[in-house]
Amino acid sequence: VSPQVNDAQSTVSVEFTPTIPHCSMATLIGLSIKVKLLRSLPERFKLDVHITPGTHASEHAVNKQLADKERVAAALENSHLLEVVNQCLSARS
């Protein structure tokens, strides 16, 4: 995962690399990163979470999903999916 933060322009861009090109969890990982950032960053920041170019088979599709605000919001309305994401984010105790 490699983040780039621009405080002055209030943008955060995160690149992450899935374990294998066919990683089925890529969307979930991206979504989790996005949710964590949404919760932890001030509202002024614009988020951009995407896959490191050339590391995933359906890179473009996943990036598109992650960039789509509507789809992210809809995903978080889904209580089952939200629970999965929360599980991903819960601190290891």
Q: Which residues bind another protein (CB under 8 A)?
A: 36, 39-44, 89
The β-bridge relationship of strands 2-6 and 46-51 is unpaired
Residue closer to another protein by CB (options 9, 40) is 40
CB of 51 to another protein, least distance (A): 24
Contacts of 1 (CB under 8 A, 6+ apart): 14, 15, 16, 17, 33
Closest approach of another protein to the CB of residue 58, in Å? 30
Shortest distance in whole angstroms from residue 4 CB to another protein:
18
The residue (of 42 and 54) whose beta carbon lies closer to another protein is 42
Is the Cβ of residue 20 or residue 89 nearer to another protein in the bound state?
89
Beta bridge partners of 5: 12
- Which helix (H) or strand (E) segment is 84 a member of? helix 79-89
Residues paired with residue 16 on neighbouring β-strands, in sequence order: 51
